[in-house]
Amino acid sequence: QAAADPMSSSDAPEDGPKETSSVSQNISDADAFKILLEMKMKKRQKKPNLPSTVTELDTEDGSKVYVVGTAHFSDSSKKDVVKTIQEVQPDVVVVELCQYRVSMLKMDEKTLLKEAKEINLEKLQQAIKQNGVMSGLMQMLLLKVSAHITEQLGMAPGGEFREAFKEASKVPFCKFHLGDRPIPVTFKRAIAALSFWQKVKLAWGLCFLSDPISKDDVEKCKQKDLLEQMMAEMIGEFPDLHRTIVSERDIYLTYMLKQAAKQIELPRASETEPRKYTPAVVVGVVGMGHVPGIEKNWNSDLNIQEIMSVPPPSASSKIFKFVIKATIFGLMGYGCYRIGQRTVQFILSMPAAQSYLQKLTEIRSSH
């Protein structure tokens, strides 16, 4: 109001601030809601100028979904996300994250870069405690792949999700949804899909990943997300693993986007005001590798119950789990043995111990 009706300090009466305050208080909640909605609709472009990485999808009730396909390690992807949200002023923003990775939204780039590079025993123990031995190891191996890219590029993952979170907070009445399947479910289903030797072969490939990556390589992967492309190359011979890590998540992401795209209730200033509904505008931020799958599943009736279940561990999983545990305990036992052996040798080399042993020898010889 002050900006709309400016008044110089010399012309303003002494009780000016009080009058301004009383005028501000006269704005009803209904007017405040109306002003915010008008601001939002004014900014929302009827024919938005969208990046080439955006795929537009429609629902039966008229809602629109703009899916931004991103490379998880790309500055241009972050710009695409910001531009799309600013152009369409969405009601909901959905990102390819689950509750187990939501912390990356509020961490700064420097901290994330440090976290991604530091994969230690404590993180391994935490992953195993949270997801079990097999899934924990799989999670740490995938983190190693991500850390390898991070180290090569000097860029932390998830920048496009952080930008989406920031921009969504600037849009009035915009909700922010996590759209990915929980990591423990994905890993447990992935492990269950592999035989014993497939698990060993995959772990070996992930452990010795060392190919150099350039920023140009990342931008070339705009047609397919870099992290998922590297994974696809390693798991190409394991179609069941590809199904659990990529195809099933395509279905889950599609389902979450369709849920977010249901007609929304307009904000009400009071409970007495009648309810009004309108088609939603949704922005989805996902890895480029998931976009074809989302398009494929968009017009299908989806049931995610089946892909949310965790099958019981197979015989090969039990054997692999036993081998891992036996190896860990074996290494711990050998370490204790070596430490004990060195400790004994150290004690025996001390002058006091040498003198004591000599006395024992003399006593024995005298008898």
pLDDT in tens, 53-109: 999 999 999 999 999 999 877 889 999 999 999 999 999 999 999 998 888 888 776
**Which of 58-67, 119-128, 174-183, 307-316 has the lowest average pLDDT?**
119-128
More confident residue, 77 or 153: 77
Tell me how far the alpha carbon of residue 280 is from its chain's centroid. Answer: 25
More confident residue, 348 or 261: 261
The Cα–Cα gap between 245 and 228 comes to 9
Q: Report pLDDT for 193.
A: 80
The Cα–Cα gap between 123 and 130 comes to 10
**Which of 12-16, 27-31, 273-277 has the lowest average pLDDT?**
12-16
Q: Report pLDDT for 263.
A: 93
The Cα–Cα gap between 52 and 292 comes to 15
3-state secondary structure labels for all residues of 151-178: HHHCCCCCHHHHHHHHHHCCCCCCEEEE
pLDDT, mean of residues 196-206: 69
Q: Report pLDDT for 7.
A: 37
> In the numeric block, which tokens belong to residue 112?
């994330």
Q: How confident is the model at residue 9 (pLDDT cuts 50, 70, 90)?
A: very low
pLDDT of 24 strictly over 60:
no
pLDDT, mean of residues 319-335: 61
Contact 4, 24 (CB under 8 A): no
> In the numeric block, which tokens belong to residue 209?
């990943």
Contact 91, 175 (CB under 8 A): yes
Q: Where are the domains of the chain?
A: 45-312, 319-358
Residues 6+ apart with CB under 8 A from 74: 159, 160, 218, 219, 222
β-strands 64-70, 54-58 pairing: antiparallel
> In the numeric block, which tokens belong to residue 244?
């659990």
Q: How confident is the model at residue 302 (pLDDT cuts 50, 70, 90)?
A: very high
Q: Report pLDDT for 66.
A: 98
Average pLDDT of the chain to the nearest whole number: 76
The Cα–Cα gap between 167 and 12 comes to 38
Residue written as token pair 């350039």 = 214
Q: How many C-beta atoms lie closer than 10 Å to residue 232's C-beta?
A: 16
Beginning with the edge strand found earlier in the chain, give each strand of the sheet holding 92-95 in spatial order. 54-58, 64-70, 281-287, 92-95, 175-178
The Cα–Cα gap between 363 and 359 comes to 6
Tell me how far the alpha carbon of residue 132 is from its chain's centroid. Answer: 20
Angle at 14 between CA 8 and CA 17, to 5 degrees: 75
DSSP 53: T
Helix (H) / strand (E) element for 265: namely: strand 264-265
Q: How confident is the model at residue 10 (pLDDT cuts 50, 70, 90)?
A: very low
> In the numeric block, which tokens belong to residue 310?
């965790």
More confident residue, 39 or 163: 163
| φ, ψ dihedrals at 90, nearest 5° | -70, 165
pLDDT of 176 strictly over 60:
yes
Q: How confident is the model at residue 43 (pLDDT cuts 50, 70, 90)?
A: confident
Q: What is the pTM of this model?
A: 0.70
| Terminal Cα distance for the chain, rounded | 110
The packing angle between helices 226-235 and 196-207, to 10°, is 130
3-state secondary structure labels for all residues of 190-231: HHHCCCHHHHHHHHHHHHCCCCCCCHHHHHHHHHCCHHHHHH
Q: Report pLDDT for 297.
A: 97
Q: What share of the chain in percent tops pLDDT 90?
A: 30
Q: Report pLDDT for 217.
A: 63
Residue written as token pair 């070996």 = 204
Q: Report pLDDT for 124.
A: 63
**Which of 48-62, 176-190, 194-208 has the lowest average pLDDT?**
194-208
